[in-house]
Structure 1
Amino acid sequence: MSRLQSPSALKRKRPDSNSQGMTDQESVVYKLIHEKENMGIWVRDIKRSSNLQDTIVNKSIKTLLDKGMIKEVINVQNKTRKTYLAAEFEPSPELTGGAWYDDGNLDVDFINAVKKLCSQKIKQLKVATVESVMDSVKASGAFKADLKKNHFEEIFGALVLDNEVMEVESNGMGEFAGIKVGKVCYKAIGKRRVGAAAAAAAAAEPRIGAMASIPCGVCPRISSCTPDGVISPGTCVYYQKWLDF
């Protein structure tokens, strides 16, 4: 699978503005955009800060785009806003949503592909840490995305909630040999074990009201839950079951 350039903010050589033949108005617009570096600037803020007529700002932006000096990017926080960056910057993850987003949209297929590969690696390793799986996935060259440790932690959290893996602590013995005592590890959960555990929990758990049973309050991954993240109310099977109650 091939996707995603690194979301780094590495700069390329700044274009020589004199050789671009910019007008004074274009220089003003370009300077405002460039000053924002990898965070970009909203077109309305350009108009407000430049004190130029809207038609002049719009014409300047079009010219700068045609010259390849600036680019338009999607702001995942507000997709209707036209946001511009100088061409030498890569947009901040805060602006684009990071590795899980593609063209401003949550890339569910990519997330599922990473989840599947991580699940396979955990099964192969028997007992795995975030770091061991991360190293194995990166060594495989399966993805071009620059996935960091926090991305894998989010994926592991989703796998735990999906009952595909379980979180355990190393005791340094047996299958945990070589792993520091107390280190958080992950093991695959067999289908039989999942079914038996679910049945036992259902039999032992008293029936309670819907409001009291909302899963968010006791969810161990609540700190990683965001509206558009890998772990979110929209993708949480437990939250959906609560809504259907």
Structure 2
Amino acid sequence: MVLNLKNPLSFFDLETTGTNITNDRIVEFSIIKMMVNGETITKTRKINPTIPIPLETSLIHGIYDEDVKDAPTFKSIAKELAKFLEGSDLAGFNILRFDVPILVEEFLRAGVDFEVTNRKLIDAQKIFHLMEKRNLSAAYKFYCNKELKDAHSAEADTKATLEVLESQVKKYEGQTVSDMRGNEIGVIKNDMAILHELTSSKMVDLAGRLILNDQGEEVFNFGKHKNRKISEVFKKEPSYYEWMMNGDFPLDTKRKLTEIKLRGFQR
């Protein structure tokens, strides 16, 4: 099917130094600009982010400091890129939550006016989630081929979840599971310890503010210290603990923080 376009449509994806829209930087962009006549123009370029790329991020996208040391900065190509995207609508996967905001931040830092309010923004992930529901009713239909009656009734939902899990184990037993980065993390087995490892093992607190990294170390999962070891943050910035304890965080999160802090004193 040929897309019906009234304006050029630029599909784009960004690789960055991390996931913090305010502090992280672009290290590579790729754009496929589809013209109204169906012609496509592809532009891909590595960018020197002017800040170090964390190793854990490089391991995901394969771009290291050495790869971008001689690349242009975003500021140096910002006007050229804005010109390339002039008059074009934007499309991508998960662009509304991440790619568009970080792209706009880069343009603002470069002092280049890049307005998105007059563009159409098309997010394929949103369409995916709208059309392929990921709620319990959809899971019950998919795995058990049944309609969930009395949805949101506690008993009906609980019974459906039991049947869904049974069907999932039956369907996937013996299959390898990979994370979002393509790394193999285990195999589905009819073993609750293994299912726990696959679904919950990285959690430190129930709110997901604190998690375990790939090395099994407790790290922050939000804010300015995202992906940094909690114990190291507390050593260098003790006031951060007080800020969180006085902040609007769940009691479970505060309890886990205190356990980590006390553990550091005992060493």
TM-score in terms of structure 2 length = 0.24
Structure with a larger share of its residues in strand:
2
* Structure with bigger gyration radius: 1
The answer to which structure, 1 or 2, has the higher relative contact order (CA under 8 A, 6+ apart) is 1
TM-score in terms of structure 1 length = 0.25
